[in-house]
């Protein structure tokens, strides 16, 4: 079976494994205070115009999301996200578990608009009963979104301006950041550092064995952040294992190269579906492709491929996801393209 259902079903890029093996005999201080984490942080910051940014390394995306939000919000404050946002739809109430309401907004393509955020903020600040409702304080978006769509630089700038106007934090979940940057026409890490208060750079889905880098650019959010990490059970004793991996990914641009390849492969798959008259559910230029297939077409492809059902479109058709990654082979992509032509 050819597995195209996600981008985290294999271990790690060989360069990452090589780096872990070569450093295995070294001894380091624990809890992320070590030379490798410092070196990895500097490698990441070389892509930002923000030398004072704080970079923390955590094991997983859900862990990074709820700790970042916990550190940002007071008990009576809430987060705002799209109704497909990962913190709402795929994290088992982790943010609610730490005591914060999530307000969701409708978004067919997974993106929030500045107008939506402004409306919910204006509703709060003009309410005569503000003390009875939660204060929207943080805007959560994903880059790319859960549906593989991308924010343009202008859209991110508009969101940033609305957040600034209403005193809200902008937090960007970058679990698939590498694929988003590879597909974007105008957004760079430097742009994100200038527009977001916090953002993550995903490793788990982008070549690492595990790990996410959380970048905090707003100095108001940095004090005692490590205390939030430790209190929530997220401070890895062998923290250098995260630093080594991110060094391997960022030192020579490997992170960007392997994600660029995966995006190119996904676009081949998208083109094959389009040429065969199979519609996309949403316009995604990234490594995730959502298409609408009939049950008969699904059954035919399931004989050889593993892909992910998303939701029923109607009684005869379903939206499904095909996902390439750093480990997807050109041979597997070519095989799928040929089988799409036979549907």
At 298 the pLDDT is: 97
Span 216-253, pLDDT tens digits: 999 999 999 999 999 999 999 999 999 999 999 999 99
Q: pLDDT tens, 60-70?
A: 999 999 999 99
pLDDT for residue 160: 98
In this prediction, residue 93 carries a pLDDT of 95
Give the mean pLDDT per block of 10 residues along the chain (343 residues).
Answer: 96 98 96 97 95 97 97 97 96 94 96 98 97 97 98 98 98 98 97 98 98 98 96 96 98 96 98 96 97 96 96 94 97 97 93
Those residues whose C-beta lies under 8 Å from the C-beta of residue 25, and which sit 6 or more positions away, are none
Length of the chain: 343
Quick one: how far is CA 80 from the chain centroid?
Answer: 16
In the chain, the domains with their CATH numbers are: 2-7+254-341 (3.90.1150.10), 14-250 (3.40.640.10)
pLDDT digits (tens, 9 = 90+) for 270-301: 999 999 999 999 999 999 999 999 999 999 99
What are the residues whose beta carbons fall under 8 Å from the beta carbon of 261, sequence distance 6 or more? Answer: 326
- Cα 341 off chain centre by: 32
């Amino acid at each position: 079976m050819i597995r195209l259902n996600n981008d985290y079903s294999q271990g790690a890029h060989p360069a990452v494994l090589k780096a872990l093996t070569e450093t295995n005999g070294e001894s380091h201080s624990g809890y992320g205070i070590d030379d490798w984490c410092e070196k990895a942080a500097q490698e990441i910051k070389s892509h930002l115009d923000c030398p004072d940014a704080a970079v923390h390394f955590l094991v997983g995306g859900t862990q990074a999301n709820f700790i970042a939000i916990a550190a940002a919000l007071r008990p009576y404050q809430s987060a705002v996200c799209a109704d497909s946002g990962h913190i709402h739809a795929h994290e088992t109430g982790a943010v609610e578990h730490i005591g914060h309401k999530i307000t969701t907004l409708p978004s067919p393509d997974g993106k929030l608009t500045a107008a939506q955020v402004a409306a919910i903020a204006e509703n709060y600040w003009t309410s005569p009963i503000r003390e009875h409702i939660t204060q929207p304080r943080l805007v959560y978006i994903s880059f790319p979104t859960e549906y593989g769509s991308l924010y343009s630089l202008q859209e991110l700038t508009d969101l940033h301006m609305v957040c600034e106007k209403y005193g809200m934090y902008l937090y960007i979940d970058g679990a698939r950041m590498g694929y988003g940057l590879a597909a974007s026409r105008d957004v760079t890490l430097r742009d994100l550092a200038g527009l977001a208060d916090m953002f993550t750079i995903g490793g788990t889905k982008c070549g690492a064995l595990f790990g996410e880098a959380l970048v905090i650019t707003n100095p108001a959010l940095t004090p005692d952040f490590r205390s939030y990490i430790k209190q929530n059970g997220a401070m890895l004793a062998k923290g250098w294992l995260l630093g080594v991996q991110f060094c391997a990914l960022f030192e020579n641009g490997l992170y960007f190269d392997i994600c660029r390849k995966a995006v190119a492969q996904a676009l081949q798959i998208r083109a094959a579906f389009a040429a065969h008259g199979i519609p996309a559910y949403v316009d995604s230029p990234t490594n995730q492709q959502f298409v609408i297939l009939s049950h008969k077409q699904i059954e035919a492809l399931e004989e050889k491929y593993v892909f992910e059902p998303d939701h029923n479109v109607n009684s005869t058709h379903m939206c499904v996801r095909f996902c390439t990654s750093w480990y997807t082979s050109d041979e597997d992509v070519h095989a799928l393209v040929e089988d799409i032509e036979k549907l």
